[in-house]
Structure formats: structure tokens, C-alpha cells
Chain A
């Protein structure tokens, strides 16, 4: 498994994502935003940060980058694509994931460790190779964002839930941004594109707080297998 981690001007977490990919499943390298060719990687991480400064709506410019064209093709071909934080925003802007991320309810940036729970009624993304729902599965992962409030119209949310596209929710009382139905992460209808507001790449080392994030990378690697 070879991961490509996109690097935009203004990306912040790309080196951490490369490190996490390597820990979880082998090789990883940075992919420059102007590269139309992903260089044969098996999967892509669109990392966190402030792509192109994000002075416009977050992710609104990055979606037009040459590398994102290639990511859209990889996604269409069933390759795993993981968007984290700003990456989630970019994937929503690009139409690869439904919904949008709005300014936090508090109107402030927030950085804290949050508990995520596997949303029910879907394939267990946290177990390599898929598997059945494990209600006891929860992940302790840091969230850090100013625009992380997931939003979609009610009927769209109903449809996502019915399709099992709500991949992660904040545990009760843990929602840091006021997102609809406590949603922390959603995936595409086909299941190979995942967007997640909290940062699994910052939960891969017991010294820095948790290793739960590794399971997200392992699960995405399993999509490629």
C-alpha cells in the first residue's frame, strides 16, 4: 500500500499524515498540489491545514488544484481517499462527499481530544477488512478546527443515515462544533471516500495521547486491498 498525501501551499498536517500512513500501512509520500499525476499511489490523504490560506470558504480553492482532478479519478475508480479536517472540507467542495462544513457554533477555533463512536448500522470501518458493527468501538482523537460543523439538509441527512454513510459521530456530550446529528465523519455512497473532522494522524503515538487513529488508516488501507 502506497499512500500519497497532498501538499497544498498552506497545508499544516501533511508531514504528520505521511508519518501516520507509514506507521499504519507502509509507504507514503507527499504529492505536490500542481501534480496532475499521482505517481501510482494506491490511496490518497487530503490533509488538514489552510489550503491556499482558506481566506475564501475553506477548501473552495484547493478543489480546483490539478492534484484534486487526479484524486477525483482515483475516487471514481474505487481507490481509498481520506480527507481530514481541511481535507474533508476540500472533498465536500469537490463534490466527492455530501454536505458542507460550517463555522463552529462557538464561532471560535477549538482544539481538544474528543471521543468518537462508530455510527451504527454500517460496516465497521475501524476493523481492517471491514466487518460487522462493533458498538463498543470508540476512538479518542484530537479535533482542531474553526469550521467543522457538519451540515446537510434534513432529507440528505436521513438519506446518509439510511445508506450507512455516517461513519463517525462524536460521543454524547463531546461534539465540539455543533454539527448536525453529532456527525464527525461521512463517507461516499461507494464507501471508499471518507471525510473526518478530527485528526487520526495525531492519534498514532501513545506518547502524544492515543493510537486510536491508526485504525482509521488501517481501515482505509483495507478499502484498497
Chain B
């Protein structure tokens, strides 16, 4: 075995993959070629363990303008406009360096959206950390939140919502998933496929340095473990100012019709951008690394090709328009260089001046990676351990307060106040004021709603039911603001797919995602897969994160998630049959185990339609999806948000066969908590539980009843800031 063949293992390629490369090339690859293959054949770029599964997802719908395979998906929202959106992970970089990891996660997803010609109008994020009593988790949380804020705030895109969960299995391997929403005129959108032999390839934005070299293969496609400190140089450094200039520059170029196609440089840098543009267009590309603007003059060709320096875009431009393109870049004070040409060779050729330093068939490089079948096997029982934090025999009041104070349930104000949620003048519902973010589109005369959800703990209990629940949760959140789903994006965060248990989780979860989306008629327009999320103690909870975009006709007709007026009736709607399985209370009692009831998808869909229509008709004062911590927590949240108590009796749930504690704290899909005029709620088929009023939260459930002062409940629910700040990060 010579030096080069040993090298492929360091770069993450197996021996058989290396042999396949040699076969396809007809020779051994040189250093440049091997580096490029190792990236494009990595899990991160080639989806080699997930692509076969993803084929199950429904991707078509009459509103779909762009589906999977483009930089972002897009759906029509009327008046000639489309909304583009995508969610992507930046988990391993954030676990190594949370501030820059999270910041560049935001930067990357923004580029995906403006790469198709859409102006970013909102960011959401879905974060997972270990328990907050760990110094490491507080450090990661603080850094990730600062990083997300730094990038989004600086670039002027509002952060309008998200979620944060704290669970021990994320201790070593936190999750940072960022979602971006963009708005475009459908006619101005652009695809990533290179076209037109003889057209110029122009690199725009930041210069290329040694940062992020090997990020896709070294960081994103391997487990975390000892020696992660040494991986810090593989984390990219973000510069939101540069991105802001590149963003405005690209949108101006597209508005002027100067670009044939556009692609962002993300993981695997120039290698993947050029390779994927060529592959999508069925053409070849010649790139001259000597023409790439560099931060360090002595960079080797392979370093230039694999660098993950941020804030760069690659465009294909007709030769006659190149001067105009460079002038617009000049105006925005951002870099630009003509570095290559579209060819009909079917090859990606890397040149350094006159010298050819690499030459590979596009087909082999981009589409040649073998796809693997998973070898799934269901784990025997609950593999994640249990840790009781709540004393046995606690009173129902103490349980409610413990749940409200649980970092996963408590108010996330500490985090979202660090994000600009109002820039852009679209934010009709700010974080925590409704179950989904609502953004008005004056261009179209309507509005969109957006939600991002995924409860890894419940997916761990049952990957199928838990994933269906994540989709339903999104749909319910949209219904709460009167929105109808248009499309879905997802980020599949899982452990090592080569391990049978994780393979089983992944397969069950993707099946559920496909089934739930099909049943709801919601197309999947894009997504991202993040595997190998493991630490020394094992895999993370399987965490499919689902982002859903919906449309609503009138942004003036959106109910909030807080009670409004004393005297209003409180009611429950939907096929809600909560159990303790996988609940936050079961976690706190140390009683987690496998198994969840299967959700009633058709029933939930019908309830969503009822709620949606009622919100649009202005019949509801308040509507809140019953989620983590069950009905008792939902009631407390509606009360705290309004500063007014409530008095209810959960007998209707007892009548459905729920035990008192299931009625109070059980979890499951399909529950909507409503308030409003009693007759209107009854007309919807909701069951009346009680009324809004007073300064206490009073909940009767058989022999377990709760009477908690509003102030006491609010203190518990607002305890996150103190927990983070006082303990130190």
C-alpha cells in the first residue's frame, strides 16, 4: 500500500471506495483529486447512507415551485411570488466551537436561500444541548445563541422562532439546526445547474483561506470524541458583513438578469459547488486555482479546492455580461474573479495556470459514490438511561412547577431576546406570542406562518410515532394561527447509521415522515441529513427536525397563545388522548421507556382544519397547541402570557379513560386548548373545561388537583435566564 492509498483512510474513504475511484478514473487519483473525492463521497455530500430512504418522501404538490435538489425548496404564495425555505444542521462545528459554528450555520442557510434568488425574510432555529447543570452545556448554549444572534442581527434578517431542548444524550454532541425563509418573485428565481458551454464561472464574495479545510469529511461525517480540540481549525469563521454585501450583490445581479445560474459555497467549498453545478447541468467545468483570490498566497491547489471559507458564491455568467457582473460586485465592495469556464468535456478540470493539477469525470466525482443499504435492527429496549430529578410522591402542584421550570419547557425569552425579531417589518407574531411565527407579505396581500419542531426524546421512544408527532405538531402550530400547510423541510439528525440501532431509528423515522406528509398532503421540498451525531456515551436521541411553512389569507386575523379576557370559556378540541409515555414528567421521574401510542393522523388533520377555519373567522380569543408538559402546562402558559388565571376541570379527559395525571401532564398529538365565547367553542365541537379569570391556576383532575398562584407559576416558567446566567457559562 503506497502513501496515497493510506491517505484515503485519513480522509474518511473506505478501501473499497478508494478502489472504486481508481476503477472509475482508470488510475490512482493524485492529491488534489483524492481530496475532492473524499469530500464529495462523504456522508455529508453524498448522502450515501440516507439517499435510498429519502426517495420515499412525497415531493410533489401543486404549489411546489422548486423541490429537493436545489439550494432550497420553494412554494408559490400568490401574486407571482414564491417562498423559499430550507433547514440545515451545523452540529459538529457548533460542538467544537459554538459561537462560530452556530454563526456560520446561519450564514450557510442564508446563502442557500439567496442562491435561488430569494431575499431572506426570516430565520428560525432548533437547538439541542445536554442538561443545563453541565458547564459544557451552558457554554455551548451561550455560545450558540450568541453566534446565531451575531450573524442574523448583523445581516438584518429577523429570527422569528424556534425551539430549544435540553437532554443528556446531546451532552457531547449538541444540535444546531437553522432554517431560513426567503421571498422571491417566481420569475426571478434561478437554479444551480451550470449551462452554456463557453460561459464564464465567476467566484464572488470573500477570499479563500485555510479555514474549514476538510469540514465536511472530518467534522460532519464522523463521530465526535477525544481530540475534538484539534479539530477547531476545521471550523469556519463567519463574517456577516461580507455576507450582507454578497447577499445584496447577488440579488441585484439576479434582478438585472445577469446570471445564468448561482450556487453557494458551503460544505466542501469550491469542490462541491463546481461539481454539483456541472453535474446538474450535464456539462464540464474548468477551474483555474491561480485565479482564486487567496488570503494566504502559498495555498496548495487541493487546499483551495476544499477550503470552506465562508461568504462565497459561484455564478455562471455569459461572457458578454462578465464586466457588468464584476462592476456590481465592485459597487458592493465584495470580491469577484472569473476563475473558470463551462465546457462540454464532462470533466471537472482543475488548473493552476497552464498546468492541469486534477481531472475527474463529473459523473464519477458527483454521482459515483456508492449508496449503502442500511442494516437496521431494533434496539432491545430503552438504551438512553434514566435519571430521576423529581422526588417520588411529589404533589401535583410541585410537579407542575417542576415542569414549568424544566429548561425544555420554560420560557426561552433569555435566548430569543438576543435575536432581532422585528427587522423587515413583516413580523406579525413575535416569539412566544403565538404557536407559529407569522410574517406578513404585503406584496401578496396575505401572510405566511412558520414553525419548526422535533422532540427527540419522543422519537427515541418510538421513531415512527415520534416522527409523525413532529409533523403533526408543526401542522397544529400552523393551524393555531389560521395557516394551511404549503410545504415542509426537514433535518434528520441521527447517530452513526452504520450501527444497526441507529439505522433502524433512521429507517422508521423516514417512513413516518413520508407517511405523515402524504396523509396531510404536504410536500417535502428540501432537507438535510446530519449523521454520526455521537459522543463517547453513545448516540444522540434520533432527532428529525421538521420545518413547515403555511399560508393564511389575513394577517389581521391571527389569534394569540395567551388568554384574553376573564369570563371567556376554556375548551379542549381534537383527538387528544394523552399518556405518560415519553413525557417530560416521565423523564423527570426517571421512567422513560420505549413505546408511544400511534397518533390519529386523520383525526388531527380534521381538528387542524376546524381550528384553522375558526381562527380565520375570528371565533377564538386564544388557541394553544397542547405539547410538552401536557394540558396543565398549556393552561399555565396561556394564563402566564395574559396575566390572568383560570379555573378548569379535566373531567372530559377522565371520561376518555385518562388517569388524573395523564389528564394533567400526559402528552400526545391532537390537543388544542381554546378560549373564547362559550357558544362559539361548543359549536366547534370543543369540550368546555372551565373559564378564564382570577389570579390562580386551578385545575381539577379527579383526586389530583392543582391550585397555583399566577406569580408562582410565572417565576418557575421564567427561571431559565437565572439558571443560565447565575451558574456561569
Residues of A whose CB lies within 8 Å of any CB of B are 9-13, 15-16, 19, 48-50, 52-55, 108-112, 142, 144, 146, 199, 201-202, 204-205, 207-209
Bound together, the chains give a CA A43 to CA B424 distance in angstroms of 22
Do A208 and B423 touch across chains, with their CB atoms under 8 A apart?
no
Among B437-481, those with CB < 8 Å from A are: 440
Do B428 and A207 touch across chains, with their CB atoms under 8 A apart?
yes
- CB-CB under 8 A from B149, the residues of chain A are 109
Do B424 and A111 touch across chains, with their CB atoms under 8 A apart?
no
**Pairs across A and B, CB under 8 Å, 18 listed:** A9-B244, A9-B245, A10-B244, A10-B245, A12-B420, A16-B425, A50-B240, A53-B239, A53-B240, A108-B418, A109-B149, A109-B150, A111-B153, A111-B416, A111-B418, A111-B419, A202-B423, A208-B427
Bound together, the chains give a CA A199 to CA B425 distance in angstroms of 11
Task: Decide yes or no whether B426 CB sits under 8 A from chain A.
Answer: yes
Bound together, the chains give a CA A48 to CA B150 distance in angstroms of 15
Task: Decide yes or no whether B422 CB sits under 8 A from chain A.
Answer: yes
- CB-CB under 8 A from A207, the residues of chain B are 428, 440, 555-556
Do B422 and A109 touch across chains, with their CB atoms under 8 A apart?
no
A110-B418, A112-B417 known; A205+B240 contact, CB < 8 A: no
Q: List 11 extra interface pairs beyond A109-B149, A111-B418, A209-B422, CB under 8 A.
A: A9-B244, A11-B156, A15-B425, A50-B153, A50-B241, A53-B154, A53-B242, A109-B419, A111-B422, A144-B422, A208-B425
Bound together, the chains give a CA A54 to CA B333 distance in angstroms of 15
CB distance from A223 to the nearest CB of B (A): 24
- CB-CB under 8 A from B426, the residues of chain A are 208
Q: Which of B333, B418, B419 is the most central at the interface, judged by chain A CB atoms within 10 Å of its CB? A: B418
Task: Decide yes or no whether B271 CB sits under 8 A from chain A.
Answer: no
- Contact for B241 among A48, A52, A202, CB less than 8 A: A52
A16-B423, A208-B427 known; A109+B153 contact, CB < 8 A: yes
Do A13 and B417 touch across chains, with their CB atoms under 8 A apart?
no
Bound together, the chains give a CA A10 to CA B149 distance in angstroms of 15
Do A12 and B156 touch across chains, with their CB atoms under 8 A apart?
yes
Do A10 and B422 touch across chains, with their CB atoms under 8 A apart?
no
- CB-CB under 8 A from B154, the residues of chain A are 10, 12, 50, 53-54
A110-B417, A144-B153, A207-B440 known; A12+B423 contact, CB < 8 A: yes
- CB-CB under 8 A from B245, the residues of chain A are 9-10
- Contact for A202 among B146, B419, B422, CB less than 8 A: B422
Give the nearest-CB partner of B242 in chain A: A53
Do A53 and B418 touch across chains, with their CB atoms under 8 A apart?
no
CB distance from B635 to the nearest CB of A (A): 25
Give the nearest-CB partner of A204 in chain B: B425
CB distance from B100 to the nearest CB of A (A): 15
Bound together, the chains give a CA A16 to CA B420 distance in angstroms of 14
- Contact for A142 among B146, B241, B419, B422, CB less than 8 A: B422
Task: Decide yes or no whether B421 CB sits under 8 A from chain A.
Answer: yes
- CB-CB under 8 A from A209, the residues of chain B are 422, 430
Do A12 and B555 touch across chains, with their CB atoms under 8 A apart?
no
Residues of B whose CB lies within 8 Å of any CB of A are 146, 149-150, 153-156, 239-242, 244-245, 248, 332-333, 416-428, 430, 440, 555-556
- CB-CB under 8 A from A54, the residues of chain B are 154, 241
Give the nearest-CB partner of B414 in chain A: A108
- CB-CB under 8 A from A205, the residues of chain B are 425
Do A53 and B241 touch across chains, with their CB atoms under 8 A apart?
yes
- CB-CB under 8 A from A109, the residues of chain B are 149-150, 153, 418-420
- CB-CB under 8 A from B248, the residues of chain A are 9
Bound together, the chains give a CA A54 to CA B422 distance in angstroms of 20
Give the nearest-CB partner of A7 in chain B: B248
Bound together, the chains give a CA A146 to CA B420 distance in angstroms of 10
Bound together, the chains give a CA A208 to CA B423 distance in angstroms of 10
- CB-CB under 8 A from B430, the residues of chain A are 209
Bound together, the chains give a CA A138 to CA B112 distance in angstroms of 42
Give the nearest-CB partner of B554 in chain A: A207
- CB-CB under 8 A from A208, the residues of chain B are 422, 425-428, 440
Give the nearest-CB partner of A12 in chain B: B156
- Contact for B420 among A15, A55, A111, A201, CB less than 8 A: A111
- Contact for A19 among B239, B425, B428, B555, CB less than 8 A: B425
Q: Which of A12, A52, A142, A146 is the most central at the interface, judged by chain B CB atoms within 10 Å of its CB? A: A12
- Contact for B156 among A49, A110, A204, CB less than 8 A: A49
- CB-CB under 8 A from A50, the residues of chain B are 153-154, 240-241, 244
Bound together, the chains give a CA A205 to CA B426 distance in angstroms of 10
CB distance from B446 to the nearest CB of A (A): 12
- CB-CB under 8 A from B421, the residues of chain A are 111, 144
10 tightest Cβ-Cβ pairs between the two chains A and B: A12-B156, A53-B241, A50-B154, A202-B422, A144-B420, A16-B425, A142-B422, A109-B418, A10-B241, A207-B428
CB distance from A80 to the nearest CB of B (A): 22
Bound together, the chains give a CA A15 to CA B251 distance in angstroms of 15
Bound together, the chains give a CA A5 to CA B245 distance in angstroms of 18
Bound together, the chains give a CA A51 to CA B430 distance in angstroms of 26
Bound together, the chains give a CA A164 to CA B156 distance in angstroms of 33
Do A9 and B241 touch across chains, with their CB atoms under 8 A apart?
yes
- CB-CB under 8 A from A204, the residues of chain B are 425
A16-B423, A207-B428, A207-B556 known; A111+B417 contact, CB < 8 A: yes
Do A16 and B424 touch across chains, with their CB atoms under 8 A apart?
yes
- CB-CB under 8 A from A199, the residues of chain B are 422
Give the nearest-CB partner of B426 in chain A: A208
- CB-CB under 8 A from B241, the residues of chain A are 9-10, 50, 52-55
- Contact for A144 among B146, B332, B423, CB less than 8 A: B423
- CB-CB under 8 A from A202, the residues of chain B are 422-423, 425
Do A13 and B418 touch across chains, with their CB atoms under 8 A apart?
no
- CB-CB under 8 A from B440, the residues of chain A are 207-208
Give the nearest-CB partner of B332 in chain A: A9
- CB-CB under 8 A from A55, the residues of chain B are 241
Bound together, the chains give a CA A207 to CA B440 distance in angstroms of 9
- CB-CB under 8 A from A13, the residues of chain B are 156, 423
- CB-CB under 8 A from B428, the residues of chain A are 207-208
CB distance from A219 to the nearest CB of B (A): 20
CB distance from A112 to the nearest CB of B (A): 6
Bound together, the chains give a CA A204 to CA B417 distance in angstroms of 21
Bound together, the chains give a CA A5 to CA B424 distance in angstroms of 15
CB distance from A118 to the nearest CB of B (A): 22
Do A12 and B422 touch across chains, with their CB atoms under 8 A apart?
no
- CB-CB under 8 A from B423, the residues of chain A are 12-13, 16, 48, 144, 202
Bound together, the chains give a CA A48 to CA B424 distance in angstroms of 12
Give the nearest-CB partner of B421 in chain A: A111
- CB-CB under 8 A from B155, the residues of chain A are 12
CB distance from A180 to the nearest CB of B (A): 22
- CB-CB under 8 A from A146, the residues of chain B are 153
Give the nearest-CB partner of B149 in chain A: A109
CB distance from B682 to the nearest CB of A (A): 30
Q: Which of B239, B420, B426, B427 is the most central at the interface, judged by chain A CB atoms within 10 Å of its CB? A: B420
Q: Which of B240, B332, B416, B417 is the most central at the interface, judged by chain A CB atoms within 10 Å of its CB? A: B417
Give the nearest-CB partner of A47 in chain B: B156
Bound together, the chains give a CA A205 to CA B427 distance in angstroms of 10
- CB-CB under 8 A from A16, the residues of chain B are 423-425
Bound together, the chains give a CA A50 to CA B428 distance in angstroms of 24
CB distance from B603 to the nearest CB of A (A): 33
CB distance from A197 to the nearest CB of B (A): 14
Bound together, the chains give a CA A202 to CA B421 distance in angstroms of 11
- CB-CB under 8 A from B556, the residues of chain A are 207
Give the nearest-CB partner of B427 in chain A: A208
- CB-CB under 8 A from B555, the residues of chain A are 207
Give the nearest-CB partner of B244 in chain A: A10
- CB-CB under 8 A from B333, the residues of chain A are 9
Bound together, the chains give a CA A48 to CA B419 distance in angstroms of 15
- CB-CB under 8 A from A144, the residues of chain B are 153, 420-423
Bound together, the chains give a CA A213 to CA B416 distance in angstroms of 23
- CB-CB under 8 A from A142, the residues of chain B are 422
